[in-house]
């Protein structure tokens, strides 16, 4: 069966709760905020970067840039999620910094007339039928010397986690099952393949971070609730080998040279 892109219309509330209102989601957001803090312009900066958030969900991370005065274009394939993002941004008094587009990643070059200094694309590629083609599209949207923040679901980490928990048959079956879970990414990406796709587009990876290097491997689920301790460990180790490579997600900072 040919893989299709995933949308979350109709299950937005359930999806938002599972992603944003758990320690997994809080860890992810905190790590990204740490990684991208240096990208947020100072108040004295003469020209503010134009920011595009692709598949932005609730748009929590992009508020860092909006609060600094940047103009942010927020996009998502789901009209329901975009509506929730608008509400969140309004609650924080940031609506005037945003414009919104309901469209899949592949259609963005036709919907948007600008190129952007900063493009955010987090946890999107693993939901797409053709993630390699999406890299070329992201390059189209990126201005020369622009920066891309790319986070994707790490296939190596999924293999490791399933071996740790004894799911040997699932690993032997190449991580395939007959019945898929709609809110679980079905196409984790091999880091080596993503690196090759970026190289073809002459996009250079300048920094790497593992995201959730420890949380998902904890055998005692009660330990997953020790958020402050887990976050401290994440921020200490997740840019160091070998931990950087076993994050459930990988966050790569990329420049368009």
Per-residue pLDDT at 141 exceeds 70: yes
Q: Which fold has domain 12-256?
A: Rossmann fold (3.40.50)
Residue 57 annotated in ligand binding: no
What whole-number percentage of the chain has pLDDT above 90?
A: 84
How deeply is 54 buried, as exposed, middle or buried, from its count of CB atoms within 10 A (0-12, 13-18, 19+)?
buried
pLDDT digits (tens, 9 = 90+) for 5-27: 665 555 555 666 666 679 999 99
164 with 197: CB under 8 angstroms?
Answer: no
Instruction: Mean pLDDT check: name the lowest of 33-47, 128-142, 192-206.
Output: 33-47
pLDDT level of residue 183 (50, 70, 90 thresholds): low
Residue 76 annotated in ligand binding: yes
Tell me the H-state helices in 129-213. Answer: 131-141, 155-164, 168-172, 191-200
Q: How far apart are CA 181 and CA 197, in angstroms?
A: 27
pLDDT at position 2:
45
Residue 155 annotated in ligand binding: no
Per-residue pLDDT at 48 exceeds 70: yes
pLDDT at position 45:
84
pLDDT digits (tens, 9 = 90+) for 224-236: 999 999 999 999 9
pLDDT at position 182:
56
* Domain map (residue ranges) of the chain: 12-256
Stretch 129-155: mean pLDDT: 97
User: What residues have CB less than 8 Å from 81, skipping those under 6 apart?
Assistant: 8, 12, 15, 16, 57, 58
Per-residue pLDDT at 43 exceeds 50: yes
Share the mean pLDDT of the chain: 92
Separation in Å, CA 150 to CA 161, 167, 201 = 22, 29, 14
pLDDT at position 1:
37
Sign of CA dihedral 215, 216, 217, 223: positive
Stretch 211-231: mean pLDDT: 96
* Nearest partner of 25 among 34, 17, 14, judged by Cα: 17
């Amino acid at each position: 069966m040919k893989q299709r892109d995933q949308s979350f219309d109709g299950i937005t509330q359930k999806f938002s709760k599972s992603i944003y209102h758990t320690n997994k989601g809080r860890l992810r957001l905190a790590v990204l905020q740490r990684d991208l803090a240096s990208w947020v312009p100072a108040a004295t900066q003469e020209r503010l970067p134009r920011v595009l958030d692709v598949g932005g969900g609730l748009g929590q991370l992009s508020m860092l840039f909006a609060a600094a005065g940047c103009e942010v274009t927020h996009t998502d394939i789901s009209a329901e999620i975009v509506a929730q993002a608008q509400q969140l941004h309004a609650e924080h008094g940031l609506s005037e910094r945003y414009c919104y587009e309901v469209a899949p990643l592949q259609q963005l070059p036709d919907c948007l007339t600008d190129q952007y200094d900063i493009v955010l694309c987090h946890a999107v590629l693993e939901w797409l039928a053709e993630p390699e083609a999406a890299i070329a599209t992201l390059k189209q949207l990126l201005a020369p010397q622009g920066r891309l923040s790319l986070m994707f679901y790490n296939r190596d980490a999924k293999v490791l986690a399933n071996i740790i928990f004894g799911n040997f048959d699932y690993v032997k079956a190449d991580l395939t099952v007959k019945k898929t879970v709609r809110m679980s990414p079905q196409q984790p990406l091999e880091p080596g393949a993503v690196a090759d796709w970026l190289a073809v587009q002459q996009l250079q990876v300048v920094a790497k971070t593992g995201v959730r290097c420890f949380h998902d491997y904890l055998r005692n689920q009660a330990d997953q609730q020790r958020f402050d301790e887990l976050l401290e460990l994440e921020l200490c180790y997740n840019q160091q080998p070998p931990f950087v490579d076993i994050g459930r997600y990988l966050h790569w900072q990329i420049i368009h040279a």
